[in-house]
Structure 1
Amino acid sequence: MNDSAQEPLESPAEAVVAMVDHVLGLAATWTAWDGEPTHVDDRVYTPHKAIRRVADHLVDHLAELEARLVGERPQPDHWHASASTTAADLAPFTREDLDEARSRLTRLARMWANRLGALTEEQLDNSPGEGWSFRELALHLKGSTYYADAVGKLA
């Protein structure tokens, strides 16, 4: 197949927005959650935990990107990631929780899309500081669907 017939590669901004869209699509079914946590890869997942982990992942890496852009060393995170499940993670997932998740994650996705859209291709691929390029960082965030996929689509 020649290059002109191939679909264009997904932009980093599109990757983040698509990830959030996927998560929120699953979350729309979570008001039917029966309160039983899901066990995946030696971890426990619930609707609240999945939303928390996606939001934390977006915030953590956005803080890294912003620090690197201004020449600072990113602050290390001290979160326990998905290793801990809090009492709040075990709460029922209500329509109000879904509304908050939509608002929070949609705004975080827009922050990412706006920031990435303001960077040049050179900045995306040859990013300042240590670590992944900003393009790689955004594409890494696509993996955040893991948390939502662990809960899955509920009937």
Structure 2
Amino acid sequence: MTDMKHAPDVLDALEAPHEPDALHASDALHASDAPHTSDASHAPDASGLVTQDAPDTLDEAPVTDDRDPARILTAMVDHVLGLAGTWTGWDGRPIPADDRIYTPHKAIRRVADHMVDHLAEMEARLVGEETQPDHWHASATTTEADLAPFTEADLDEARSRLVRLARIWANRLDALTPDQLDRSPGKGWTFRQLAFHLEGSAYYADSVGDLSAAGAPASHPDRTRKP
């Protein structure tokens, strides 16, 4: 890993505008870091973080098609882990993407948190509970842990974590009836729409890109702002 003395300057320059009470409106994925179920206004709660509007007032519902929603989630994780397999040679420099920065650990954190967030939403709605308000620091924050080297052991941990999350999602979605997928209980997008929304979590990994060429800058696939 290279000398990280430059990192505070990079982080300050790229992340300073993202105060906790400011909605990142330029990127639909960042706006979607919050659960799409709250009817609260954009006002900080007691912790100083922000809850989001319901999806019909925040952004457009995800477009769906005839693909199997369970397979969408497993394919997304396969794509993320395929890129992550090239990250063990990362040189330690945060990678700018749009007006945020990403690192291997941050990308894995955001993919996992996004999947956990909406999984908790779906499970709560299925049993008639209120969904939990969002308190993720999300992409606006780069932690010290995000800046750590990404080792083979970290890759193994990421594989175990994301593959299991994808399997939980796939099993849950496969157990739902078509009516439950498209006329889902509770407030928010349908569960089919949630699956298509989560497909866009690949954005985080695409922001880091393919680092397989040692010493070469990241190769960035199209980072479509999908969620």
- Normalised by the length of structure 1, the TM-score is 0.94
**Greater fraction helix:** 1
Q: Tell me the residue number matched to 2:89.
A: 32
* 5+ long unaligned stretches in structure 1: 1-7
Tell me the percent identity: 75
Match of 2:132 among 75, 96, 106: 75
Q: Deviations over 1:29-57 (max 9, x none)?
A: 00010101111111110000000000000
Q: Tell me the residue number matched to 1:123.
A: 180
Quote how far apart the aligned CAs of 1:9 are: 2.8
Structure 1 CA distance, aligned partners of 2:68 and 2:181? Answer: 10
Structure 2 CA distance, aligned partners of 1:96 and 1:9? Answer: 37
Q: Tell me the residue number matched to 2:120.
A: 63
Question: How many residues are treated as equivalent by the alignment?
Answer: 148
Larger displacement relative to structure 2 (35-44 or 84-93): 35-44
Q: What is the aligned-residue RMSD (CA, Å)?
A: 0.9
Q: Tell me the residue number matched to 2:53.
A: none
1:133 aligns with 2:190: yes
Match of 1:85 among 139, 142, 147: 142
3-state SS of paired residue (2:201) = helix
Structure 2 CA distance, aligned partners of 1:68 and 1:144? Answer: 22
* 5+ long unaligned stretches in structure 2: 1-64, 214-227
1:54 aligns with 2:111: yes
Q: Tell me the residue number matched to 1:3.
A: none
Q: Tell me the residue number matched to 1:19.
A: 76
Structure 2 CA distance, aligned partners of 1:42 and 1:73? Answer: 33
3-state SS of paired residue (1:147) = helix
Which ranges of 4 or more aligned residues in structure 1 deviate by more than 6 Å? none
Quote how far apart the aligned CAs of 1:77 are: 1.7
Structure number with greater CO (CA < 8 Å, separation at least 6) is 1
